[in-house]
Amino acid sequence: MSAQPATLFVIFGATGDLAQRMLLPSLYGLQSENLLPDAMRILGSGRTELDDSGFRAFVREALETFIPAAELNETHVTALLARVHYQPADVSNADSMAALCQVITDLRHGDVVYHLSTAPRFFAPITAALGTHNLSGPGTRVMLEKPIGTSLDTAREINDGVAQHFAEDRIYRVDHYLGKEGVQNLLALRFGNALFEPLWNARYIEQVQITIAETVGVEGRGDYYDSSGAIRDMLQNHLLQLLCLTAMEAPSAFEPTAVRNEKIKVLSSLRPITAHDVNVETARGQYTAGELEDQTVPGYDEELGRDSDTETFVAVRAMVDNWRWRGVPFYLRTGKRMPERETKIFIQFKAVPHSIFGSKAISEPNALIIRLQPEERIELELLNKTPGLDRHGIRFAKVSLDFDAQEEFKALRRRPAYERLYLDAIEGNGTLFVRRDETETSWAWVDGILAGWEQAELHPSPYPAGSWGPTSATHLVARNGHEWN
C-alpha cells in the first residue's frame, strides 16, 4: 500500500527540550505555509500531566520562545493550536499507554506518523504498545530520534524491538543533518552538475576533510554526553553520513532505496581501524580550561563535576577501500570548544602533474570548500596570475570563486532541518532517513575503533578550549603529508 499523507502526527516526548526548540517550531513553519494536510491532527504525549488546553499553552510558549517575533503570525499560531491535542502517558505504565492508544485510535482516520523523541530505551516498549493496540500496521510510520544505540549490539536490540511491529520501509531513523539545506545541496552539487563527476575520484583528489566543529561545551547535557563522547555522539552518525554523501556513486534516482543502496556501499568499504593502528589513524582529545570568544571557559572535567576519560574531540583517517577512492584519506574530525562553529567539507585536488612556470611560481593545488553551517557557501580555490609584466616569470595568487547561498537566495526562508524531515515523514518519503543496515554498519566500524582505544589504552589528550584539538590531530594528517584546512 503506498503511503498517504498523514492524518495524525503523534510526538512522544512532546514536553521535552527537542520538542520545544525544534519540533513544535517546525510544525509551525509547515503550518504557516499551508504544507500540513488539512485534516491532520497533532497529538503530543509525555509524562507531564496536561490536558489539551494546557498543552496548547505549552506549544504557544515554545513558539514564542524559539521563533523570532517577526515570523510569528497569530492566524497561523491559532490554526496550528486548533490541530493540537495531548494525552499524558508513562511508557512504564501499561494503563496509561492503553489510554494513549485509545486516543490515537479515536483521532486516527488514515495514515499516522509517530515521532519517538524520547530516550532510545523507550523505542521498543513504545512500538510494542502500539503493536498491541493494532496501531503499527500498514499506513503507520515511526520516526526514531538519535541515538540508535551506543554500539552495534545495542543498536541491533533497538532495531529488533522496533522491527517486531514496523516494517523497515516504515521506520524513519532521524539524522537531522540530512534535513539540512546545505547537506541536500551537496547532492545537488554532485549530481546536478556534470562538472565535478569526472574529477571526483582518486585520480584527481588528494584528500578530503570533513569537519563538524562546535564552540559549545557540554552545558546541561553532561551526564548524557559523558556516556557517549564525540565518536558516538557525532562521528557514528553525522560525520559518516556526510562521508557517504561525499563519497557515494550516483544513485539511479533520488528515492529511498537507490540513495541508501549507494550509501551502504561506502560504509561497507570503510577500512577497519583496530588496536594496531588507532594510534596512527585516530586522535582523541578532551578540552581543558581555555579562552573562547574572549571568555575564559572551564575544562570538561570541571563542567562535568568529576574526572572523566570521555573524548570531546575525535579525528579519524577513514579510508574508503574501493576503486573510486583508493588511497584517498577522508579525515573526519569533530570537537567541542573549538575556536569556531562550522561544518565544512574540504576537497583538495592533486597538484598539476608538471609546472610549466618554473620552480619560483607557487603551485598550490585547487580546493573545493563546501560550507554547510552556519554559512552555506561553496568556494573553489584557484590560482590566478598576479597582474604585472612578469619579466622574471609569471606570479600567481590564490583566488576564490565564492558562492554564498544565503546571499543568493536571501528572499527565501532557510528551512530548519526538522521542517524538511517532518514534511517527508508526513508524506511518506524516506529518502532523507537512515536505513537499518547503514546504522549497524556504521556502528560496527565505530565499535572497532572503540575496542582499539580500549586495547591500546588510548586515552584522550588534553587540548585547551578555543584550540583546534590535541597535537595528535595535527600529527594524524601531517603523517600523510597533509595539514588541516
CB atoms within 10 A of CB 288: 17
> Can you give 200-258 as a three-state secondary structure string?
CCCCCEEEEEEEEECCCCCHHHHHHHHCCHHHHHHHHHHHHHHHHHHHCCCCCCCCHHH
Q: Which stretch binds ligand NAP (CB under 6 A): 115-123, 184-192, 380-388, 452-460?
A: 115-123
Site for ligand NAP in 46-85 (CB under 6 A): 46-48
**Contacting range for ligand NAP; rule: CB under 6 A; set: 7-15, 75-83, 336-344, 398-406:** 7-15
Beta strands in 386-439 (DSSP E): 396-404
CB of 13 to ligand NAP, least distance (A): 3
Query: Residue 377 and residue 388: Cα distance in Å, rounded?
Result: 31
Instruction: Identify the CA nearest to 179 among candidates 436, 45, 373.
Output: 373
Asked if 146 is part of the footprint of ligand NAP (rule: CB under 6 A), the reply reads: yes
Report how far residue 471's alpha carbon sits from residue 473's, in angstroms, rounded to the nearest whole number.
Answer: 5
Shortest Å distance, C-beta 279 to ligand NAP: 31
Only one residue has cell 574526572, namely: 307
DSSP 3-state assignment of 97?
A: helix
Measured from each CB, the residue nearest to ligand NAP is: 16
Report in angstroms how near the CB of residue 164 gets to ligand NAP at its nearest: 19
Q: Does 183 bind ligand NAP (CB under 6 A)?
A: no
* Burial (Cβ within 10 Å: 0-12, 13-18, ≥19) of residue 82: exposed
Check binding of 13 to ligand NAP (CB under 6 A).
yes
Residue number with CB closer to ligand NAP (76 or 176): 176
Among 7, 31, 32, 117, binds ligand NAP (CB under 6 A): 117
Stretch near ligand NAP under the rule CB under 6 A, chosen from 112-120, 276-284, 444-452, 457-465 = 112-120
Comparison of 117 and 310: residue with beta carbon closer to ligand NAP: 117
Q: Which is nearer to ligand NAP, 60 or 76 (CB)?
A: 60
Of residues 17 and 291, the one with the C-beta less far from ligand NAP: 17
Does the annotation count 238 as an active-site position?
Answer: yes
**Under the criterion CB under 6 A, does residue 91 sit at the interface with ligand NAP?**
yes
Tell me how crowded residue 471 is: count the other CB atoms within 10 A of its CB.
Answer: 14
Place of cell 516494517: 167
Tell me which of 165, 238, 276, 354 is the catalytic residue.
Answer: 238
CA dihedral 222, 224, 226, 231 (to 10 degrees): -120
Sequence-distant (6+) residues with CB within 8 A of 220 are: none
| Residue range at the interface with ligand NAP (CB under 6 A); choices 55-63, 111-119, 291-299, 463-471 | 111-119
- The answer to whether the CB of 235 falls within 8 A of the CB of 446 is yes
Residues 14 to 53 in contact with ligand NAP, rule: CB under 6 A: 14-19, 46-48
Residue stretches of the annotated binding site for NADP(+): 47, 90-91, 146
Annotated binding site: 47, 90-91, 146, 176, 180, 214, 233, 336
Q: Residue 424 Cβ, how far from ligand NAP at the closest point, in Å?
A: 18
CB distance 314 to 240 below 8 Å: no
134 binds ligand NAP (CB under 6 A): no
Beta carbon of residue 45, minimum distance to ligand NAP (angstroms, whole number): 7
Residue 120 touches ligand NAP, criterion: CB under 6 A: yes
Q: How far is the CB of 300 from ligand NAP (least distance, A)?
A: 18
Q: What is the DSSP string of 110-132?
A: S-EEEEE-S-GGGHHHHHHHHHH
Q: Is 162 helix (H, G, I), strand (E, B) or coil?
A: helix
Is residue 117 a contact partner of residue 14, using CB atoms and an 8 Å limit? Answer: yes
Closest distance between ligand NAP and the C-beta of residue 443, in Å? 16
Which of 111, 145, 181, 438 touches ligand NAP by CB under 6 A? 145
* Backbone phi, psi, residue 126, to 5°: -65, -45
Binding residues for substrate: 176, 180, 214, 233, 336
Where does this chain touch ligand NAP (CB under 6 A) — which range of 118-126, 184-192, 210-218, 327-335? 118-126
Q: How far is the CB of 81 from ligand NAP (least distance, A)?
A: 19
DSSP 3-state helix, strand, coil percentages of the chain (rounded to 5)? Answer: 40, 20, 40
Closer by beta carbon to ligand NAP, 143 or else 477: 143
Q: How far is CA 327 from the centre of its chain?
A: 26
Kind of pairing between the strands at 205-213 and 342-349: antiparallel
If binding means CB under 6 A, how many residues of this protein chain bind ligand NAP?
20
Toward ligand NAP, which CB reaches closer, 180 or 317?
Answer: 180
CB atoms inside a 10 Å sphere around CB 31? 22
Is residue 442 within the footprint of ligand NAP (CB under 6 A)?
no
Contact residues for ligand NAP (CB under 6 A)?
Answer: 13-19, 46-48, 89-92, 117-120, 145-146
- Positions marked active-site: 238
